[in-house]
Amino acid sequence: MEIRYAVHPEDVKSYDTKRLRKEFLVEKIFSQDEINMVYSMYDRIIVGGIMPVKKKLKLETYDEIKAEFFLQRREIGLINVGGKAKVTADGMVYELEYKEALFLGQGVKDVVFESDDTEKPAKLYLNSAPAHKSFPSRKVSLSDANVLHLGSLESSNERQINQLLVKEVVPTCQLQMGMTELKPGSVWNTMPAHTHNRRMEAYFYFEVPEGQAICHFMGQPDETRHIWMKNEQAVLSPSWSIHSAAGTSNYIFIWGMAGENLDYTDMDIIQPNELK
């Protein structure tokens, strides 16, 4: 588990490319037969990936979280971006197909991950946030999602937002997750850009075609920065930062949020012509 500290927006103004990437980019999400995690001081979110191939992987606790088991004081959301996965949580078995999600509530002790086919291993992208109450665990498919259609091809941002782990679908303490799919010919996500002071966010980009890339925009609206990203990488977004991107092709991204605010529409919009 890697630790990432929070930084002040005034400090970020002086960061060069190397420092920006060090503080906000999570380059390694998936490694064969490993669980990779980054613990961020932004609302104590944990971002990571689980890729069981030749063996089962157990969700162990870490010294950094000072807990008897991982979900003692946490909840977790998982979205499968690989082959069929099987997750066993306190004896309950959940089978996750591509793009299906799973929420595990506070107090779940024994969690094991495995792939159905070693030739097509599961890739479980995860977000975890502190929890003060236990809510029921639940699998969520795309058919269960709250779906929004936003943008247009004319503005290069026609997209479908699949709200998977949100309060309208699954009760959680503070964790929210969803998946946005860009339509062919569209490259801009989350436009117009926005900030939300009562929650942070993390983005994970996947289905980025070989040889293509994502340019993720961050920073305060009047002092923006960018980070170039590859397929299956994640980026942390502080509450004071915008979080938007354009790709050299259409792609899919998973957004995850943690904080006190569960209202998806509570945000401060910044129009494109206001950005600097």
Q: What does the radius of gyration of the chain's CA atoms come to, in whole angstroms?
A: 18
Q: What confidence score (pLDDT) does residue 247 get? A: 96
Check if the beta carbon of residue 239 is closer than 8 Å to that of residue 195. Answer: yes
Q: What is the mean pLDDT of residues 76-84?
A: 98
Residue 140 structural domain: 14-274
Residue-averaged pLDDT of the chain? 96
Residue 82 C-alpha from the chain's centroid: 15
Q: Is 210 exposed, middle or buried (0-12, 13-18, 19+ CB in 10 A)?
A: exposed
Indicate which CATH number applies to the domain containing 225.
2.60.120.10
The verdict on residue 168 lying in a domain is yes
CA distances from 118 to 31, 48, 99 (A): 14, 20, 18
User: Which residues have a Cβ under 8 Å from the Cβ of 20 and sit 6 or more positions away?
Assistant: 12, 218, 225, 227
Percent of the chain with pLDDT over 70: 100
Whether residue 215 is predicted with pLDDT greater than 90 in this model: the reply is: yes
Specify the number of domains making up the chain: 1
Whether residue 264 is predicted with pLDDT greater than 90 in this model: the reply is: no
The verdict on residue 270 lying in a domain is yes
The verdict on residue 7 lying in a domain is no
> If pLDDT is split at 50, 70 and 90, which confidence band does 266 have?
confident
The verdict on residue 130 lying in a domain is yes
The verdict on residue 4 lying in a domain is no
The verdict on residue 134 lying in a domain is yes
Q: Is 182 exposed, middle or buried (0-12, 13-18, 19+ CB in 10 A)?
A: buried
Q: What confidence score (pLDDT) does residue 41 get? A: 97
Looking at residue 70, what DSSP letter applies?
T
The verdict on residue 36 lying in a domain is yes
Q: What confidence score (pLDDT) does residue 263 get? A: 83
Best CA proximity match to 28, nearest among 55, 1, 52, 61: 1
The verdict on residue 98 lying in a domain is yes
> If pLDDT is split at 50, 70 and 90, which confidence band does 261 have?
confident
